[in-house]
Structure 1
Amino acid sequence: MLQGFHAEVKRLLLLLAMASIIGLLIDQLAITLLLAVAWYTGWNLWQMLRLSIWLQGKRKSQPPESTGLWGEVFDAIYHLQRRQKREKNNLQAVINRVQETTSALKDGVILLDWRGQLDWWNPAAQRLLGFYNSDQGQSVVNFIRDPRFVDHFEQGDYSEPLDIPSPRFPDKRLQFQITRFGKNERLIVVRDITQIFHLEQMRKDFVANVSHELRTPLTVISGYLETMADNNTTPAWSRPFEQMQQQSKRMSLLINDLIMLSKLETTDTGFNQKRLELGPLLQTIKAEAMVLASDKQQTITLDMTPELSVVGTEKELHSAFSNLVINAVKYTPEQGAIAMRLWRSGPHIYFSVTDNGAGFESKHIPHLTERFYRVDASRNSKTGGTGLGLAIVKHVLLRHDAELQIHSEVGKGSVFTCILPANDGRTGLRPRDK
């Protein structure tokens, strides 16, 4: 571009020099200079007109031919046009590839604009939700009217997927995962989880039925074992009877926990809930835990703010809090210390159980509430645990709109904290986790 500018300056100087010479020869210097400037201005205006005509013609033809600065301007615009066309073709190829890929997916993909209106969807989404081409620009909640989806969509917390019945096929179950991108645009992935849902229901029914069916024969076996152990006069059978009674008791605890989990999964949330004073409940749990802790000479303390209450089911909360305390007793060494604490901060009530046991690495924390998960393969067999205690805690807290936070350090102990809503109308910001 500088070369063209220099050529244009030389052109102008040469024109002025020639006009000056001619003006001096005919003694009309001012007129010749004025004519030269007018010609040069007109020539530039003509180049501008040619450029304007070419641009308005959508630049489909070759750029105008010219010299000097204008020639370089025309060439630069032409090369820019070619580069833009190549980039546009590449971008269109990428878009076509993405559309082909998403069209091949079995999961539905929906793009929403910043207003939550339908912008694009793939064939799977059209099949699952029954969209038509004329639906573009319509709000997504006009087609998915389930109140749970509407609340989930409007609240804006998309960290967890939402499972609801299909709005088009009542016998199908769909999972919606929403992700934000761009300028408040949203991507919705719709997955058909009907088979998984039915399998999960079958698993729940199977566990519930088997647990109930095993309870009666196990009770009979335990009764006969106890009778035979009491009437045993052969020293050689004392140890086998003791082991059989221990395993029978362990199996009974496992069945009871499975039945509890089954009830938590199958009964409606809010069933039999009422305003519950937590102080007397924790005093009862402490007394029960001290009986277990007496053999290991452990110390159990309870520090609580008086007159705190929540809306909940007493039996479920007793099971959750008791599981936390009993776990602390099991996994804390002899003469260890276990601290129960209850307090309120803002709109939440906190209950924590702290022990000075062996602790565990942080990588185990996300899996602790899974059924039968073991930090150590031999841990539950040594303590007599069922591996279901923290799963029960998780389900109980979910049914009470609460959550469980876990913190642990190897060699220092663990802290399990339940965070429950106070449900008394007081408002405030959630405090920083302690």
Structure 2
Amino acid sequence: MLEKLSIKKLLLELVIVLIISSVIGFFLHQISITVIIGLLALLGWHFRQLLRLSHWLWIDRSMTPPTGRGSWEPLFYGLQLMQQRNKRRRSELRSLIQRFRSGAESLPDALISVTEEGNIFWCNGLAQDLLGLRWPEDNGQNIQNLLRYPEFSRYLQQRQFSQPLVQALNNGQQMEFRIMPYSEKQWLIVGRDISQIHQLENMRRNFFANVSHELRTPLTVLQGYLEMMQEGNMPLATQQKALMTMESQTQRMAALVKQLLILSKIEATPTYEMRQRIDVPSLLEQLYHEAMALSDNRHKVICHIDKDLLALGNEEQLRSAISNLVFNAINHTPAGTTVILSWQKTSFGAEFKVSDDGPGIAAEHISRLTERFYRVDGARSSHSGGSGLGLAIVKHALSHHGSKLRIESQPQQQTVFSFQLTKAHILTEIQ
């Protein structure tokens, strides 16, 4: 194995040249001249090795340095080892960068690397999808020229990054930006899509506002009548009317609380409770009689039921879903409407359907019907005792059964609420 070049080796090489030239000079009787010639030859040989090294460094494009002998052999060999180490390091660095970029691509955030001036030198795929950046076309572009939002520009210029910036984009998305200096004069911009979180927060605020409103109205009525009764001069007829109104408002609050508890329970129900045997035909027969009593002969109710078709799931949840659909058809359609209940086997599995020929629902309302407390006609829903939670209960109950509520409506012609259960959630009576 070669050792590094040392002064000892250089002196040994010089001594060998002097001895050889002295011996030759002794026999030629010209020792001085032969010694000088030997030293010049040694110097010329060193010059030649320097020229070979210079040629390899500046002209030759090969990665392997030339071979050498004598004192130059460890130098050239050392250069070769250095080249091999550098090659391994470059390979490791490329692999590290590749792993970093692969990891950055798998993150759920948009990542943009910029200079302090805002010039982009790298971004991941999610930054391209969420923010409309292009890579590598936008390499070197200033981020403020691509994200033209005054709040974002001020955030960069102020350089106060302890708090994130929430920015509404032109496409309606809500983005949360965080900026972290991670190297000298370099920043990492992290963008996270918080549109869903923002929407859930709005829904939470609306939910509490709606619950407060729904409870405040009957409580105000009760408080008003109680104050009138405390005065002691209320006529008997008025007292009877007040008591009936108070009872109605109390029932309304009780129904609202019951619906909230049902919805909360359905949302928290674990999946292992979803294998109960449900006699849907018997359930629909019971709901048919309840619907007729609720209708008081104001509607025509028709049933098309496969009496051998049963279901698997959570009986309480499925009953809540079906009963809400049936009672909605009675409560929210005028007298003289025909309501059809259908439970039939299909190639997909089984389908439950409630259809009516009432006034229908405008298209702009359909996508929001399953939102909590959303009402197409608030006055009519309140008069009919609706809480605005029924279809939200249906939505969550069906999601636990692997199904979705489908709503179709043609104003003044037909409205259909339906859902399907897969073959995994149905069985026949013979089974």
TM-score (norm. length: structure 1) = 0.48
Q: Which has the larger radius of gyration?
A: 2
TM-score (norm. length: structure 2) = 0.48
